[in-house]
Amino acid sequence: MASFPHLFTPITIRNVTIPNRILISGHFTHFAENNLPSERLKAYYERRAQGGVGLIITEAQSITRHCWPVPNTCMADTDAIIEPYRRISEAVHRHGTKIFAQLWHNGHQNFSKVSFLPVQSCSPVPGPASGEVPKELEEEEIQEILRLYASAAVRAREGGLDGVEIHFGHGYLPQQFLSPYSNIRRDRYGGSFENRLRFGLEVIDAVRRAVGEDFVVGLRVSADELLECGLKLPDMIEAAQRWEQTGQVDFLHVTVSTYKTGVVAIPPMGTPPRPFVWMAAEIKHVVDIPVFAVIKITDPHTAEEILANHEADMVAMTRATICDPDLPRKAREGREDEIRLCMNCNEGCWGRCQEMLPITCAQNPEAGREREFHILPAPGRKRVMVIGGGPAGLSAARVAALRGYEVTVYEKDNQLGGQILVAAKAPLRADLLESIRNLEKELRRLSVPIELGVEVTEQMVLEKDPDHVIVATGAQPITDPSPEVVGPDLAVQIEPGAHVVSAWHVLSGEAETGSKVLLYDVQPGLQGFATADFLSGQGKQVEMLVMGMRMLFSPFDIDGPTLALHLLSLFNKDVKVTYFTAVKKAMAGACLCYNPVSLREHEIPCDTLVLSYWRKAEDRLYRALKGKVRSLVRVGDCVAPRYLMHAIYEGYVAANKLG
């Protein structure tokens, strides 16, 4: 049992004492309703306050309708926001947690297709995400924006919040003014470093004058834009000193990047822990105001070490507490072994956020559903048989055990994990196993019997006669690309002499390939990328063919940071990625391919064709038991193959519904 003396030492920032050093940084949830913080958002924040976090910074609050990139943006530009703020601050304060509003103008990173207003920036340099050319702000518009920042800050104070964090990072408007990458003005706001600093200093001054002396005002800043022509750490050290010298700034929250390089700000699994804390430390060495560190600080030991080493004064653990809101409380009570560790998969949080969907967590189905998801007590001591030790089965077993059922898990393999065991063999994906470790340690804590190496049959179930049977037998890879299995449109004809294997069997180590490989990525997702990466890592020459028809609707079912990491890995290994190419026929030494839009055909030579299809539900046991047992439910991929997030969610829901 570890203790975390630094983590649980309070800190006073201006007039606010925060009970510990763990904070949740601003993160867009898509929970807003009518562009205002909703009851759903309140419940989400309150649950995390209950879990013991010291400080919550709200999701970005727009100070103007010119900053309206997604329909569900929270708008702090009218007094209508004060009442929702009051409800949220009361809820959070009940648990001793403090809360700051994040004030936001995204400048050229806005989307006028949502706002129907011109995108604003210091200069008409297109935003990296939208590609939109902004309107160059005129002097009087700048003055208006200063007033908007100030009045949004006053609304936060009126709503009972404890402070504001003005977003100066992630390439938003104040950073656009500061950066030579985006600011090409020639007036007093452009050119020299001094001039480029001016807008930010005026924002700070306007906000401080509006809120007075007894209210916290801090900045979120990017320590480096990570761009050839952008701001570098030495520039930001100088800027940090200048902001501190105003005497009006109470803390600096140090992140990195602009939208052009933003994928590093929410790093996926397969990347090193706490990658940018050293930059926060560099800034901390030159200022006296508190500095917050962030990005991939996932466990309390790492957080404690950062504080003990004086690298920062507070640590943001954002995805870590989306995944387990009780992380601070468990660490404080010496129960850190019970923490459900975030695995940085981005599947439920950022992956959904970027698709403009309400966030959740792949491992924690309660995230974002705090009002409706509660584990209900079992109606009596009944027996539950869970068949399948993958994520869906383990999730169901956990919830059934928490409810008070007598649960036994059966797994035909000699270890738990199901398909995750194969998926985690792919390059950069080993952390997927964290989901299984988290569930397994919960089952051990709850003393749930786990029978490994037992292939359950219909006969066994009938003999045991449990009250409830939960089937979670997963899915099988598709190895036969015939029309009878995959449908006529996506079928591949295999001629004698052709060497064809499945991506799944390549990853599991059950199939070998020749040295020149064509990988046909039929189902967009990570399997194709990961297999191409795996094979090129073995020195194979790999060309990946992406049919691409779904790209016309939605490009990939992968979040941006994860996709970027895998593309980087592929491009570094010279994997060729060819879009809008489908395979018609595999032959000895070549494949006959076609463009799915023009239907023109061409041959590509290869030794092996690797097929990356979807998987098919393994539902034989379910079908055999149907109508023969008292209560039968199936969950996860044996219903229809989907994502880890769905498996864990479905296991939770099914077990919570048992009678």
Ligand X SMILES: Cc1cc2nc3c(=O)[nH]c(=O)nc-3n(C[C@H](O)[C@H](O)[C@H](O)COP(=O)(O)O)c2cc1C
| Residue 348: contacted member of ligand X, ligand SF4, none (CB under 5 to 8 Å, by partner type) | ligand SF4
- How far apart CA 56 and CA 53 sit, in angstroms, is 7
How would you class 138 by CB atoms within 10 Å of its CB: exposed for 0-12, middle for 13-18, buried for 19 or more?
exposed
Q: Least distance in Å: CB of 341 to ligand SF4?
A: 8
Percent helix, strand and coil across the chain, each rounded to 5? 35, 20, 45
CB closer to ligand SF4, 207 vs 323: 323
Q: Least distance in Å: CB of 437 to ligand SF4?
A: 12
CB closer to ligand SF4, 110 vs 562: 562
- How far apart CA 359 and CA 354 sit, in angstroms, is 9
416 lines the binding site for ligand SF4 (CB under 6 A):
no
| Residue 490: contacted member of ligand SF4, ligand X, none (CB under 5 to 8 Å, by partner type) | none
Lateral strand order in the sheet of 582-587: 493-494, 582-587, 590-594, 601-605
| Residue 115: contacted member of ligand SF4, ligand X, none (CB under 5 to 8 Å, by partner type) | none
Q: Least distance in Å: CB of 633 to ligand SF4?
A: 25
Q: 561 vs 67, 342, 421, 524, CA distance in Å?
A: 23, 16, 23, 16
Q: Least distance in Å: CB of 101 to ligand X?
A: 11
Binding-site size for ligand SF4 (CB under 6 A) equals: 14
Rounded to the nearest 10 degrees, how much is the dihedral formed by the CA atoms of 205, 206, 210, 215?
A: -40
| Residue 122: contacted member of ligand X, ligand SF4, none (CB under 5 to 8 Å, by partner type) | none
361 lines the binding site for ligand SF4 (CB under 6 A):
yes
Q: 370 vs 42, 376, 625, CA distance in Å?
A: 9, 14, 34
Pick from 47, 560, 15, 135: which is nearest to 328 by CA? 47
CB closer to ligand X, 60 vs 490: 60
| Residue 53: contacted member of ligand X, ligand SF4, none (CB under 5 to 8 Å, by partner type) | none
CB closer to ligand SF4, 91 vs 345: 345
What's the token pair of residue 52? 């013991």
Q: Least distance in Å: CB of 265 to ligand SF4?
A: 13
CB closer to ligand SF4, 177 vs 649: 649
Q: Least distance in Å: CB of 298 to ligand SF4?
A: 8
Contact 406, 491 (CB under 8 A): no
CB closer to ligand SF4, 257 vs 344: 344
Q: Least distance in Å: CB of 389 to ligand SF4?
A: 20
Q: Which residues bind ligand X (CB under 6 A)?
A: 25-28, 59-60, 102, 167, 170, 220, 255, 265-266, 294-297, 316-320, 349-350, 353, 359
Name the phi and psi angles at 157, rounded to 5. -65, -45
CB closer to ligand SF4, 43 vs 323: 323
Q: Least distance in Å: CB of 462 to ligand X?
A: 46
| Residue 341: contacted member of ligand SF4, ligand X, none (CB under 5 to 8 Å, by partner type) | none
| Out of 23, 55, 362, 428, the residue judged to bind ligand SF4 by CB under 6 A | 362
Which ranges constitute the DSSP H helices of 309-344?
318-323, 327-332
Q: What is the DSSP letter of 443?
A: H
Pick from 565, 569, 573: which is nearest to 265 by CA? 565
| Residue 361: contacted member of ligand SF4, ligand X, none (CB under 5 to 8 Å, by partner type) | ligand SF4
| Residue 323: contacted member of ligand SF4, ligand X, none (CB under 5 to 8 Å, by partner type) | ligand SF4
CB closer to ligand SF4, 325 vs 524: 325
395 lines the binding site for ligand SF4 (CB under 6 A):
no
- How far apart CA 353 and CA 30 sit, in angstroms, is 7
What's the token pair of residue 368? 């974002």
Q: Least distance in Å: CB of 645 to ligand SF4?
A: 7
What's the token pair of residue 499? 């060497």
Q: What is the DSSP letter of 497?
A: T
| Residue 343: contacted member of ligand SF4, ligand X, none (CB under 5 to 8 Å, by partner type) | ligand SF4
- How far apart CA 597 and CA 202 sit, in angstroms, is 54
CB closer to ligand X, 170 vs 646: 170
Contact 266, 346 (CB under 8 A): yes
The answer for residues whose C-beta is within 8 angstroms of residue 329's C-beta and 6 or more apart is 51, 52
Residue 560 in 3-state DSSP? helix
- How far apart CA 506 and CA 251 sit, in angstroms, is 51
- How far apart CA 488 and CA 502 sit, in angstroms, is 18
CB closer to ligand SF4, 160 vs 275: 275
CB closer to ligand X, 85 vs 350: 350
Q: Least distance in Å: CB of 273 to ligand X?
A: 9
| Residue 110: contacted member of ligand X, ligand SF4, none (CB under 5 to 8 Å, by partner type) | none
Question: Segment 294-353, which members bind ligand SF4 (CB under 6 A)?
Answer: 319, 322-323, 342-349
CB closer to ligand X, 360 vs 536: 360
The answer for residues whose C-beta is within 8 angstroms of residue 115's C-beta and 6 or more apart is 65, 66, 67, 68, 69
| Residue 331: contacted member of ligand X, ligand SF4, none (CB under 5 to 8 Å, by partner type) | none
Pick from 364, 293, 281, 350: which is nearest to 322 by CA? 364
438 lines the binding site for ligand SF4 (CB under 6 A):
no
Residue type for 430, please?
A
Q: Least distance in Å: CB of 297 to ligand X?
A: 6
Rg (CA), the chain: 27
Per CB under 6 A, residues contacting ligand SF4 are 319, 322-323, 342-349, 361-363
